[in-house]
Amino acid sequence: LAFSGGLGAAAPSARPEDVGLSSKRLERIGELVQRHVAAGSFSGAVALVARNGRIAQHEAYGLMDLETKKPMPKDGIFRIMSMTKPIIGVATLMMIEEGKVRLTDPVSKFIPAWKDMTVGVAMPGGPGARGGGAPPAGGRGGAPEPRYYTVPIERELTIRDLLTHTNGVVSGPISQSANRAVAAKPTETLADYIPRLGKVPTEFQPGTRWAYSAAAAWDTLSRVIEVVSGTPIDRFVKQRIFDPLGMKDTTYVEPAGNPRLVKLYSRTADGLRPASSPGFMNGVYFSGGG
């Protein structure tokens, strides 16, 4: 998702003291952001503080493009990545409110291929035996593949498990490794990939642990919403969330060529370097977690 800090145009401004804030204390925000810009943590940022519906501070810092030295605009459009999750969380709660989904519903109610899943168990002493969080996307940096066996799942995964990161879906070395064999291809949609994901062993028995599911659980929730609403997830969030809230610049499709699109950089040993948007931002696969 790409996001614009357009709130400044929608809400009235106020002196910090008029809304119970301290002008002196708010200066610390700019000082902190400037320290990060100077240290090369990121090229620039936009900070906005509002209280009681009135904006007390709205400032841009640093640059949106290091190569051209273009200053960061207050209405810059950013790739918000994992902040897609709370949006899909809202969409899921809307379906719960409408009685189309329950927190206790098994995922297989909506995606039958998720019936009779398995759980991966690391073999003693082998790679992956210690478990842990998910490795970085795109591979394990040359680490050996985990050795594991599978056991039946003790209870079905539920919507609650997906929402609370207690699901074990692609959230550790075993599930990450198994998922690479079924990962979505460049032209595939959620409807193509999510049923295959049900054949990937989870990292642990549902509800027994917390482990961050970086994308897969939220992609699954997106597919559930598509099934129960009868609407593709990109259209659903636009019609039901973005349009009603006036979020006219928020979209799954990167607005290429838009002069407000902030340039993407990666932190490297040699400083910030230009980076490409992730391959899943292709206008076909609408990731609920990315």
Q: What does each of the 290 residues of the chain score in pLDDT, given as a tens digit?
A: 455 555 555 689 999 999 999 999 999 999 999 999 999 999 999 999 999 999 999 999 999 999 999 999 999 999 999 999 999 999 999 999 999 999 999 999 999 999 999 999 999 876 555 444 433 333 445 678 999 999 999 999 999 999 999 999 999 999 999 999 999 999 999 999 999 999 999 999 999 999 999 999 999 999 999 999 999 999 999 999 999 999 999 999 989 899 999 999 999 999 999 999 888 889 999 999 98
SS3 82: helix
Classify the C-alpha dihedral 144-148-153-154 as positive or negative.
negative
Give CA–CA dist 78/33, Å, rounded.
16
The CA distance from 115 to 207, in Å, is: 17
The β-bridge partners of 149 are 121
Strand-pair partners of 194: none
Please name the amino acid found at residue 198: G
Q: How far apart are CA 54 and CA 77, in angstroms?
A: 22
Give CA angle at 227 (250, 219), nearest 5°. Answer: 50
Predicted pLDDT of residue 256? 87
Give the integer Cα–Cα distance in Å for 19 and 49. Answer: 11
Supply the pLDDT for residue 215: 95
User: Structure pTM?
Assistant: 0.87
pLDDT at 10: 65
